[in-house]
Structure 1
């Protein structure tokens, strides 16, 4: 494998500027999301409200606790009727042409019910991936707080994502296909804001050396199909042999572990998100809605060698429009999603 590039410094803005000085952010947003070849399609928001570290830490440790259960227990919280898009999902998603067993996901809808919360039954049946019921492992010892932790962090990210969408409006207003609503309104009024809690299992022993390891060894290259995705920095956890029930936070397995992004110009870059910050990525739905003026960038996750006893926990919030929203001349968001699901969940749809 060719030598990997060093860490890229993503465009970073402060939470205070996002709230109080949105009119000053057109330039950094343009550098992060625009047409320049170095654009990573990601922006970092730092100096967040003080409650963020505890919200993140609590939920990601619960992700590890759930992911460490026996699969017979975890599978009780799966939902085949929604194509495994609510509750626990493991080994169902296709990555690199094969079922992905290196990570498991826990999905839930964190939308705040609005005046259109009553969805007709035909729509519900047509889009079970979005209009299912949340599932929580509240009966499992130590996981009683998962629902509250999941929803609290999800809505914290959603609020900041809506502020970012407002700041993006001057940049996207002339490019959005549908100007009847703002980007922020598309997100705020959507009844299908989905979040994904991710547990990357400790990698199996392998004879592959770090230099030969594929860059997408922990998660294959993909694009998110949202408008904007909010993303927490990953937490790495190890289970000490003398006390496996009490995992400890550890550094990443190696300097080459983590998130890799292909820039708009096609160069591969490793991107580190500070633990006390949030990142927001452009999704493919926004690429379609702006005729490609904003682009979703392919990204993946690399193990990077190191200990095989370390798991990776993270959380992603997919801010997306209602399934009925037209995002291109040919498709609604719901129709576009069906194409994406069919590609990544072959044999399930």
Structure 2
């Protein structure tokens, strides 16, 4: 069978996500069978478990405990770092405060980013520079800052190793995307609490979506709820102790012309009286890189590239800042309305132009 014919065959049905061991991919630049397996898995499903990442279980446990401690704080202590008071999209968001597929997500969360100075706004400064800036830190939990900054550094190193492995898997120079992820970094961290929901109510912990960066590294607790969309329907992604769940982001899909796949996923809320916690790290292009480059894949891989997909409600741009700000605006309307009125108005106008069939399709967001 030809390479192209093989590419057009439907992917085999999955009953569980595959597992990749980062140690097996090594730190060198030699292409191995482990790299071929990585490329195949990423193309077919775009999701897998990552083990052998080298992060100590004690560090994971410490951050998980810190997350539970924060969400147990009184509401006023959490609202002290409310995201709505900063243009940098950093801080606390209460249940229902983030929107996915036109519906509120039933989760509370804290968003952090790389700790960097703000870029002063001005008439000649693009609005998307507002994404860079300092974090907000809760005074009721001062030790959280050190834990978060350490986690950003530690997880960035894992993501960089994994990105290098992807490039080798695609027969690219290991340094091919160095400029795209060079400092100053633009990576984000989201610590999330999904409170239990009573039967018969909405169970949208987070609605169906793709992630917008390069790679997402997710830690989840022992309460399930994450699902990834496959050709056969929604596949449960149960917890795996001290393993990351990895998924491809839209920017890596764009850079590979769709050879690597950013897949749709969602989280269903736990039942009444149960809480779910997760920690999501989003490895993203630097705002200073401006544009996502298109990798020149070898012919036998390029023939299998399907082109990047684009959600009509969330069109995909190769310009990094424009794409990143667009994603933040549509998810956090209160921040957008206060600090980005032009982008907020454009988003509202786009929603108003949808007919009922388009709105229903947008909410379903299925292949």
What is the CA–CA distance in structure 2 between the aligned matches of 1:173 and 1:327, rounded to whole Å?
A: 18
Q: Is the 8 A contact 1:165 1:184 kept in 2?
A: no
* Match for residue 233 of structure 2 among 261, 267, 271: 267
Name the residue aligned to 1:146. 144
Name the residue aligned to 1:244. none
Query: 1:244-255 counterparts in 2 under 5 A?
Result: 251-252=222-223
How far residue 20 of structure 1 moved from its aligned partner, in angstroms, is 4.4
Name the residue aligned to 2:291. 326
Question: How has the CA–CA distance of structure 1 residues 79 and 96 changed in structure 2, closer, same or farther, with 3 Å as cutoff?
Answer: closer
**CA offsets 1:8-30 (integer angstroms, 9 cap, x no match):** 43232223223346632322212
> Which stretch shifts more, 159-168 or 318-327?
318-327
Q: Is the 8 A contact 2:228 2:236 kept in 1?
A: yes
Q: Is the 8 A contact 1:7 1:272 kept in 2?
A: no
Query: 1:16-35 counterparts in 2 under 5 A?
Result: 16-20=23-27, 23-24=31-32, 25-34=34-43
Name the residue aligned to 1:97. 102
SS of 1:218's partner is strand
What is the CA–CA distance in structure 2 between the aligned matches of 1:31 and 1:157, rounded to whole Å?
A: 24
Q: Is the 8 A contact 1:84 1:92 kept in 2?
A: no
What is the CA–CA distance in structure 2 between the aligned matches of 1:99 and 1:124, rounded to whole Å?
A: 32
What is the CA–CA distance in structure 1 between the aligned matches of 2:326 and 2:260, rounded to whole Å?
A: 20
Q: Does 1:189 find its partner at 2:189? A: no
The structure in which a higher percent of residues are helix is: 2
**Higher relative contact order, structure no. (Cα contacts within 8 Å, ≥ 6 residues apart):** 1
Question: How has the CA–CA distance of structure 1 residues 269 and 180 changed in structure 2, closer, same or farther, with 3 Å as cutoff?
Answer: closer
How far residue 71 of structure 1 moved from its aligned partner, in angstroms, is 2.2
SS of 1:77's partner is coil
What is the CA–CA distance in structure 2 between the aligned matches of 1:334 and 1:173, rounded to whole Å?
A: 28
Name the residue aligned to 1:170. 168
Q: 5+ residue gaps in structure 1? A: 1-5, 209-213, 236-250
Name the residue aligned to 1:206. 199
SS of 1:27's partner is helix
Q: Does 1:132 find its partner at 2:146? A: no
SS of 2:19's partner is strand
SS of 1:69's partner is coil
Name the residue aligned to 2:159. 161
Q: Does 1:224 find its partner at 2:211? A: yes
What is the CA–CA distance in structure 2 between the aligned matches of 1:277 and 1:82, rounded to whole Å?
A: 33
What is the CA–CA distance in structure 2 between the aligned matches of 1:132 and 1:160, rounded to whole Å?
A: 23
Name the residue aligned to 1:297. 263
Q: Aligned residues, how many?
A: 297
What is the CA–CA distance in structure 2 between the aligned matches of 1:168 and 1:41, rounded to whole Å?
A: 12
How far residue 57 of structure 1 moved from its aligned partner, in angstroms, is 1.4
Question: How has the CA–CA distance of structure 1 residues 332 and 269 changed in structure 2, closer, same or farther, with 3 Å as cutoff?
Answer: same
Name the residue aligned to 2:48. 43
Q: Is the 8 A contact 1:95 1:220 kept in 2?
A: yes
Q: 5+ residue gaps in structure 2? A: 1-12, 295-316, 337-367
Name the residue aligned to 1:68. 72
**CA offsets 1:56-92 (integer angstroms, 9 cap, x no match):** 2111222122112232221111243545721212233
**CA offsets 1:166-215 (integer angstroms, 9 cap, x no match):** 111134466xxxx99623552343521111111222x232346xxxxx7x
Name the residue aligned to 1:56. 60
Q: Is the 8 A contact 2:113 2:186 kept in 1?
A: yes
Name the residue aligned to 2:325. 338
What is the CA–CA distance in structure 1 between the aligned matches of 2:265 and 2:171, rounded to whole Å?
A: 26
What is the CA–CA distance in structure 1 between the aligned matches of 2:185 and 2:334, rounded to whole Å?
A: 27
Q: Is the 8 A contact 1:78 1:89 kept in 2?
A: yes
SS of 1:149's partner is helix
How far residue 144 of structure 1 moved from its aligned partner, in angstroms, is 2.5
What is the CA–CA distance in structure 2 between the aligned matches of 1:69 and 1:309, rounded to whole Å?
A: 18
| Cα-Cα RMSD | 3.1
* Match for residue 113 of structure 2 among 96, 99, 109: 109
